[in-house]
Amino acid sequence: MASLTREQMLDMYRSMCLTRALEERLERLFKQGHIVGGLYRSLGQEATAVGSAYALEPEDWLAPSIRDMGALLVRGLAPVDMFRQYTARRDAPTGGKDNTNHFTIPELGILGPVSPLGTQLAVLNGVALSFRIRGESRVCMTYQGEGATRTGTSHEGLNFAAVQRLPMVVVLEHNRWAFSTRSDREAAVGAWTDVAGAYGLPVRQVDGNDVLEVYDAAREAVDRARRGEGASLIVAETYRMLGHAQHDPQPYVDPAELEAWRERDPIDRFGRYVIENGLATEEGLAAMRGELESEVAAAADEAVAGPRPDPEEARTRAYAAEPADGGVPWTRRAVVGYADAPAGVAPARPSGSGTPGESSGGSGTAVRQGDAAVTDGKQRGGGA
Amino acid sequence: MAEATAAQQRAPAEPGATRETTYLEAIREALWEEMKTDDSVFILGEDVGVYGGAFKITEGFLDEFGPDRVIDTPISEAAIVGASIGASHMGFKPVAEMQFMDFVAPAFDMIVNFAAKVRYRTGFGAQIVIRGPVGAGARAGPFHSQSPESYFANVPGLKMVAPATAYDAKGLLRASIRDPDPVLYFEHKFLYRRIKEQLPTDEEILVPIGKARVHREGEDLSIITWGAMVYTAARAADRLAEEEGVSAEVLDLRSLRPVDVEAVAETARKTGRVLVLHEAPRFGGLAGEITAVVCEEAFEWLDAPVRRVTAIDTPVPYSPPLEDYYLPQVEDVLTAARWLLAY
């Protein structure tokens, strides 16, 4: 077992509690209507995210899946930025252009995922490839639920990482459910560790609700990658304790199974370990959780007080040089009111009477007022 | 070609010097020269290294640049494009080869959902080029002949180019590699060895993305097209001149996103009769978009409705009589042109 100091262990406990407190606050904001999109919780999976990310160094990179809030917090993500992101604020990491955890923050080594599954591994492979080409001893880590590993992109990504011997650690979060589909209906393999054989990847199965065991496996895989010995797979056995998202009360889950996994709650378990090993007292941990509650509440208030983006910001940043279609006459803006379009974008057209456009009247004429001083172009009659 | 490039570097070219270069060699030269001058450029794809590419575009590259910059990948188009995006985030300028552009389909998710949107979403762009052979006429059947531009045309964040000449093949590839946004570079396999031009050796050939080119000037009719159809259009224009005394203008778009709207409007206003020609199928093809641009920008100058001449709405068939029927031929262009002129 890799060694951790008391401070590090308390820090891990804190990150797990922060994850839960932050998500509980997000749920409150969702019910209050501050979050306009989906909300996906990681309840019950906090140890997998925190324990794995804790094995990385600051110069490494990580790409989360949707239930890896804890990994982002370990990387140093400020809670206020997560609240801004979920509540669609202008000063959110994506400026309100995308939701959930879909942001990239290079200084924290965070690569944002997108919703189609398996994709962030394929992209993070390029980051790992860059490390390898430059001879840097840096490592990448990413996450996939067992459902995500059934995509073609995931298969290609796992194989590419393996055959290119990239410094990559893939954490397969076996949380039993891909939305409503139980994992034994996602694949015919008996154990999810079996998939590693197809790629020639070293694999280790861990209790994903035991943060120390997750950390130990991640440390081993990260060290292997850093030594230039290639990619690894970790299969974390865990359980998704809530529905896929807020809209899903998961009627397809057996309450007894859920109750059994509640007994294995990763925060309760690690809290007992910390107390039994004399690293902190029950009162000390309770005080820590109280501080986190206040910190989270303040961050949420700060985020919600910020502005939403200006509507026109929807146009910006699709390309490096903008705008791609700035004010040209067939854009929506011009349809709403041609007079609003920037000066000079109106097409040159024939002057004088008798052109089809001017003689026909109708809405086409109405939006062209004030644009008569054009003299070039062909004169012609009333059309064919 | 590689040897010629090296020889050139030893002996300074005389002013005005040129060298005969095929369309394929022009692509090769652009890749070679960009890799020589910019360490951040690397290539990856299926069989690009040891074999030198299915069409030998990258022959000799592995020996010159080594396995870290010429990467033979598994048959995994999504992984190829994904890795390109990630490497671009780290400052590299990857050029990904699709062995045939038909095989871009497995990478569609990575291109449309990741590469195209990443700058908008996160502020960090994907400076990548995805290049490969497109187009029919080579008797290559349904899966080695497609023109996939319209699959991607409705995806903001992407750029698309489709050169018809060796000069543009070279200049647009260099511009694509240097462009900060993801560029799909469609090279027409029918032109690889059929097009030869004298290219200047004493100047840097760079063609801006987004600018069309007048392939042939004319007054009476405009044929707007790109890729191999530029030559079909030119032959039709020759026939119109010889047989009917009609002067047809051929506009080679070169860039398919962004389209050079000004050039389209200018030629439409100049001739008043517009024919849009492409070898992709008709429904949903880019000709519809070009037609809309003409209608919005030049309606009052038109003497006739815009006509489209395209492939038929089927997959690309294999057998020569079928493929020839599928593809727009000079006669098809002439028929549409005569209709426009008589309107």
Which of B 9-68 lie inside 8 A of A, CB atoms? 42, 68
Domain for residue B10, yes or no? no
Model pLDDT, residue B15: 75
Residue B45: which CATH number?
3.40.50.970
* Same domain? B135 vs B220: no
Domain for residue B12, yes or no? no
Judge whether B297 is closer than 8 Å to chain A, CB to CB.
yes
Taking contacts as CB-CB distances below 8 angstroms, the residues of chain B near A125 are 79, 82-83, 86
* Same domain? B99 vs B242: no
Pick from B78, B125, B343: CB nearest A153: B78
Supply the range of the domain harboring residue B60. 21-200
* Same domain? B298 vs B263: yes
Select from B200, B221, B241 the last residue of a domain. B200
* Same domain? B37 vs B141: yes
User: In this model, does residue A369 exceed pLDDT 50?
Assistant: no
Instruction: Provide the domain count of chain B.
Output: 2
| Closest CA in chain A for residue B94 | A126
Mutation for A interface: B90, B93, B176, most A CBs within 10 A = B90
Per-residue confidence at B328, pLDDT binned at 50, 70, 90?
very high
Strands A232-237 and A168-174: parallel
Compute the average pLDDT of residues B323-327: 98
Select from B169, B200, B231 the last residue of a domain. B200
Compute the average pLDDT of residues B48-74: 98
Taking contacts as CB-CB distances below 8 angstroms, the residues of chain B near A106 are 89, 124
Compute the average pLDDT of residues A277-304: 98
Between helix A46-53 and helix A211-226 the angle, nearest 10°, is 30
* Same domain? B221 vs B195: no
Tokens of A64: 């989360």
Q: Do B123 and A94 touch (CB under 8 A)?
A: yes
Taking contacts as CB-CB distances below 8 angstroms, the residues of chain B near A95 are 123
Q: For B154-171, what is each residue's pLDDT tens digit?
A: 999 999 999 999 999 999
Tokens of A236: 């974390």
Domain for residue B9, yes or no? no
Q: Percentage of chain B with pLDDT > 90?
A: 95
Task: Give the ipTM of the model, two decimals please.
Answer: 0.94
Domain for residue B206, yes or no? no
Model pLDDT, residue A61: 98
Pick from A129, A163, A328: CB nearest B74: A163
Domain for residue B4, yes or no? no
* Same domain? B165 vs B236: no
Taking contacts as CB-CB distances below 8 angstroms, the residues of chain A near B258 are 324
* Same domain? B50 vs B143: yes
Model pLDDT, residue B14: 73
Pick from B71, B76, B265: CB nearest A159: B76
Catalytic residue numbers of B? Answer: 144
Report yes or no: A159 and B77 within 8 Å, Cβ to Cβ.
no
* Same domain? B174 vs B296: no
Taking contacts as CB-CB distances below 8 angstroms, the residues of chain A near B297 are 329, 347
Give a three-class secondary structure readout of chain B: CHHHHHHHHHCCCCCCCEEEEEHHHHHHHHHHHHHHHCCCEEEEECCCCCCCCCCCCCCCHHHHHCCCCEEECCCCHHHHHHHHHHHHHCCCEEEEECCCHHHHHHHHHHHHHHHCCHHHHHCCCCCCEEEEEECCCCCCCCCCCCCCHHHHCCCCCCEEECCCCHHHHHHHHHHHHHCCCCEEEEEEHHHCCCCEEEEECCCCCCCCCCCCEEEECCCCEEEEECCCHHHHHHHHHHHHHHHHCCCEEEEECCEEECCCHHHHHHHHHHHCCEEEEEEEECCCCHHHHHHHHHHHHHHHHCCCCCEEEEECCCCCCCCHHHHHHHCCCHHHHHHHHHHHHHC
Q: For A3-25, what is each residue's pLDDT tens digit?
A: 899 999 999 999 999 999 999 99
Q: Do B87 and A126 touch (CB under 8 A)?
A: yes
Compute the average pLDDT of residues A193-208: 97
Measure in Å the smallest separation between the Cα of A311 and chain B Cα atoms.
15
| Closest CA in chain A for residue B73 | A160
* Same domain? B178 vs B225: no
Tokens of A369: 């007022």
Domain for residue B32, yes or no? yes
Taking contacts as CB-CB distances below 8 angstroms, the residues of chain A near B179 are 320
Q: Do A377 and B300 touch (CB under 8 A)?
A: yes
Q: Do B120 and A318 touch (CB under 8 A)?
A: yes
Domain for residue B2, yes or no? no
* Same domain? B168 vs B250: no
Could you give all domains of chain A from N- to C-terminal order, each with its CATH number?
Answer: 6-305 (3.40.50.970)
Domain for residue B14, yes or no? no
CB pairs < 8 Å spanning A and B: 172
Residue B313: which CATH number?
3.40.50.920
Pick from A102, A131, A383: CB nearest B121: A102
Q: For B206-237, what is each residue's pLDDT tens digit?
A: 999 999 999 999 999 999 999 999 999 999 99
Report yes or no: B22 and B195 within 8 Å, Cβ to Cβ.
yes
* Same domain? B283 vs B170: no
Measure in Å the smallest separation between the Cα of B79 and chain A Cα atoms.
5
* Same domain? B94 vs B173: yes
Mutation for B interface: A115, A156, A170, A331, most B CBs within 10 A = A156
Compute the average pLDDT of residues A38-55: 97
Select from B149, B173, B200 the last residue of a domain. B200
